Amino acid sequence: MKVALAYSGGLDTSVCIPLLKERYGVDEVISVVVDVGQPVEDLERANRLGEEIADHHIVIDAKEEFVEDYIFPLIKANGNYEGYVLGTAIARPLIAKKVAEVAFREKADAVAHGCTGKGNDQLRFEAVFRAMGLKVIAPMRELGLKRSEEIEYAIKKGLKINVGKDTPWSIDENLWSRSIEGGMLEDPAFIPPEEIFAWTKSPEDAPDSPLILKITFEEGVPVALDGEALRGYDLIVRLNMIAGEHGVGRTDIIEDRVLGLKARENYEHPAATVLLSAHRDLEQIVLTRNELRFKMSVDAAWSELAYQGLVLDPLYDDLLAFIDETQKRVSGDVTVKLYKGSLQVLGRYARTALYREDWVSFDTAVEIDPADAGGFSKFHGLQARLYRSSI
């Protein structure tokens, strides 16, 4: 039997390799690393280990696709689940698709992942794997090994994993966000130590002078920083550094997992904070009130599906079709100020803005005659008057 394994180079997915052979009778394990912008050291370690312990190792660069087909739609949809920018969530289906493609190409009998039975990631991977008609093996969930047992097993198998140096935290990182959980953080009252953060400075250590930055959007996606045109991936990498330096983009939330468990999650996502705030602001000036109200519920429905990893549900594309239509007018510039952990929008410009200075101004009178509002005013709140006169 041949299996394609979604591989990260971490402890869980590494012990999966010998476990698949010993406990599931697998003859050939193909480890598949999908690059969605995780740190280079992690990728290098994964490739080194994969080459060494798997029968066949494959690396797939999916960074461009991650940005174009997952992060850009997320920005257009103002992606947000209970305050989470959906970084881990949005990457899982892409990783699953890439692993599935390898499985088909290599004529594997099944696919495998290293997720445990308590989280969302197992659901996200498997929803895609099963929709693509693949058989799934989940050794970590099925064998229920404790972390200490895993470490013992890894040592017995001679896997060169630097467990000793491992932090107590479980970290998942890609271009869009860094998720930190586990260890002492499982006590929701425990105050996160500074050491869990890698992308953001603490506001106290951030520069004393603010940074003012202009972000340009075209049809809902960011295309330039301070007038310099950048490809999506480079723009996000750069913005993560700039905003992280100013301490922008930390979140500490209690999150409702799909299974119903409440979990304490810490996240870092400097670029996401800037881009989502700026994008929302730009929508506010170009979309109508009706569009904004309706889109808010569409965005929430999209975010819910994205969180659950249900990107193959037809509703996911249905919602995106609506969202894309609205984004045709979402082009323009937003100026933001980054200062010691805070982000403030200072100004915005859009050619297609519905804002008319001469219409709204206190000082000029054009097109509309304020006196016309007199009749409107008499009807406004009519039902409250009816109600009050009835009691």
Residues lying near ligand ARG in the complex (CB under 6 A) are found at: 88-89, 120, 170-172, 179, 181, 255, 263, 265
DSSP symbols for 145-187: --HHHHHHHHHHTT----TTT--SSEEEE-SS-EEEESGGGGS
Asked whether residue 316 is marked as a ligand-binding residue, the answer is no
User: Any bridge partners for residue 336, and if so which?
Assistant: 213, 345
| Residue 115: C-alpha distances to residues 5, 131, 187, 310 (Å) | 11, 18, 22, 17
Q: Is residue 12 annotated as involved in ligand binding?
A: yes
Q: Is 88 annotated as a binding residue?
A: no
227 known member of a binding site: no
Please report how close the Cβ of residue 171 comes to ligand ARG at its closest, in angstroms: 6
The H-or-E segment that residue 335 falls in is: strand 332-339
Active-site residue flag, 361: no
Minimum CB–partner distance for residue 252 and ligand ARG (Å): 12
Annotation says 92 is catalytic = yes
Q: Cβ closer to ligand ARG: 150 or 181?
A: 181
Given the residues 31, 35, 45, 170, select the one marked as catalytic: 170
We find the least distance from the C-beta atom of residue 97 to ligand ARG, in angstroms, to be 17
Q: Which is nearer to ligand ARG, 84 or 129 (CB)?
A: 84
For residues 348 and 333, is the Cβ–Cβ distance under 8 A?
A: yes
Contact 54, 31 (CB under 8 A): yes
Q: Nearer Cβ to ligand ARG, position 90 or 108? A: 90
Say if residue 120 carries a ligand binding annotation.
yes
Active-site residue flag, 226: no
Out of 31, 35, 92, 177, pick the active-site residue: 92
Rounded to a whole number of angstroms, the minimum distance from the CB of residue 181 to ligand ARG is 5
Q: Which is nearer to ligand ARG, 255 or 268 (CB)?
A: 255
Distance CA 165, CA 161 (A): 9
Whichever of 119 and 270 has its CB closer to ligand ARG, that residue is 119
The one-character DSSP state at 71 is I
Taking the least distance from each CB to ligand ARG, the nearer of 123 and 215 is: 123
Amino acid of residue 329: R
- Please tell me whether residue 225 adopts helix, strand or coil conformation: strand
Q: CB under 8 Å to 92, separation ≥6 — which residues?
A: 121, 124, 125, 128, 309
Smallest distance from the beta carbon of 160 to ligand ARG, in angstroms?
A: 21
170 is in an annotated binding site: yes
Query: Is residue 372 annotated as part of the catalytic site, yes or no?
Result: no
Question: What is the Cα–Cα distance from 145 to 160, expressed in whole angstroms?
Answer: 19
Task: Show Cβ contacts of residue 133 under 8 Å, excluding neighbours closer than 6 positions.
Answer: none
Of 280, 278, 282, nearest in space to 350 by CA: 282
Closest approach, Cβ 39 to ligand ARG, in A, equals: 14
Count of C-beta atoms within a 10 Å radius of residue 300: 14
Residue 337 Ramachandran class (φ > 0 left, ψ -120 to 50 alpha, else beta)? beta
* Nearest distance in Å: CB 91, ligand ARG: 9
For the record, the structure tokens of 266 come out as: 């810490």
Cross-strand bridge partners of residue 264: 254
Q: Tell whether 273 is in a known binding site.
A: no
C-beta of 108 vs 271, nearer to ligand ARG: 271
6 assigned ligand-binding residue: yes
Q: Which of 35, 121, 172, 299 is catalytic?
A: 121
As annotated, the binding site for L-aspartate includes 116, 120-121
As annotated, the binding site for ATP includes 6-14, 114
As annotated, the binding site includes 6-14, 84, 114, 116, 120-121, 124, 170, 179, 255, 267
**Which are the catalytic amino acids?**
12, 92, 121, 170
As annotated, the binding site for L-citrulline includes 84, 120, 124, 170, 179, 255, 267
